[in-house]
Amino acid sequence: MRLGAIYRLCPVFTALLMLNSCGTGDHRVLEEVVEKVYPIEPDANVSIQNRDGAVSVYGSNNNEMRVRCLKRASNHERLNQIAMDISTKSGGASVTTKFPPQPRWAFSDRSGTVDCIIIVPATARISALDLNAGEVLLEAMRGPEVRARVNDGRIFSRNCFTNLDLTMKRGTLTVTYDWWEQQKFSAQVNVGLGNAWVFLPTEAAFRLIACAGDGKIANDFNNVPLVSNSSAREMKIDQIVNGGGPAAITVQVAKGDIKIGEANP
């Protein structure tokens, strides 16, 4: 996928990258762009770590890793203290944002975010994507696995025919497939406090396991009654959809709701 097409898909990122500063006076936000391109193997093991901001990962047909990061802070000192550590080695690559320690004083400058757009081979392995607060977007990945963790924010996965392992402590997690492929892959979704939405084509064939510890489950593919634990608020689904297949979808939410919907009913 060409970089220009990626930016058209991300109007928010595009608008941010076009700005040199935002606001006036003491309230302006300063920005700096870091952009790098590295050759990597199609099966490279990629790890990504960011503290606050956003991370968008796209799969492409090119054997390279393109990284474009937008650093933002309220002053030059704080901006310069945010560093990007990008490295590659045989069989692997890593992207790590390094922030200065959070000050102890309540009115000290705590500003600083990094928004990253990362394009890697679609067949690469994302062994770890960790974000403290913000948004993660995953699209068109087909490698062995994609593991993503967000403490507070949102995760959105689209057309990733891989073994997804997605965890959200607080927020909303969405997994979408615009079409279906008969192959072995899985999506494991875990949300502590929040909601989980999964959208699949009408013809999708898979095993579905869903559990809402304290919440509700809405299921467009439901052909069996939901199982409710009489001693708790827990609701469960364990069913074969459209005759089943090699794919498996597992969704667990401790407190919140689950929606299993048809993407093109």
pLDDT at 17: 41
Q: Nearest 5°: phi and psi at 77? A: -60, -45
* Angle at the Cα of 244 from the Cα atoms of 242 and 250, rounded to 5 degrees: 105
- Those residues whose C-beta lies under 8 Å from the C-beta of residue 192, and which sit 6 or more positions away, are 168, 169, 170, 254, 255
Alpha helices, DSSP H only, in the chain? Answer: 3-9, 11-17, 76-81
Return per-residue pLDDT of the chain as tens, 265 residues: 555 555 444 544 444 444 444 444 456 789 999 999 999 999 999 999 999 999 999 999 999 999 999 999 988 888 999 999 999 999 999 999 998 776 665 444 456 899 999 999 999 999 999 999 999 999 999 999 999 999 999 999 999 999 999 999 999 999 999 999 999 999 999 999 999 999 999 999 999 999 999 999 999 998 655 555 544 578 999 999 999 999 999 999 999 999 999 987 5
Amino acid at 221: F
User: Among residues 154, 172, 175, which one has the least CA distance to residue 163?
Assistant: 175
Read off the pTM: 0.85
What is the chain's length?
Answer: 265
pLDDT at 75: 87
Amino acid at 15: A
pLDDT at 29: 85
Strands 145-158, 125-139: parallel, antiparallel or unpaired by DSSP?
parallel
Indicate the SS3 state at residue 139: strand
* Angle at the Cα of 201 from the Cα atoms of 146 and 263, rounded to 5 degrees: 90
Q: How many domains does the chain have?
A: 1
Contact between 95 and 49 (Cβ < 8 Å): yes
User: Among residues 120, 147, 135, 144, which one has the least CA distance to residue 171?
Assistant: 135
User: Among residues 217, 228, 214, which one has the least CA distance to residue 250?
Assistant: 217
Tokens of 261: 């919907």
Question: Which domain range does residue 50 map to?
Answer: 3-262
Amino acid at 38: Y
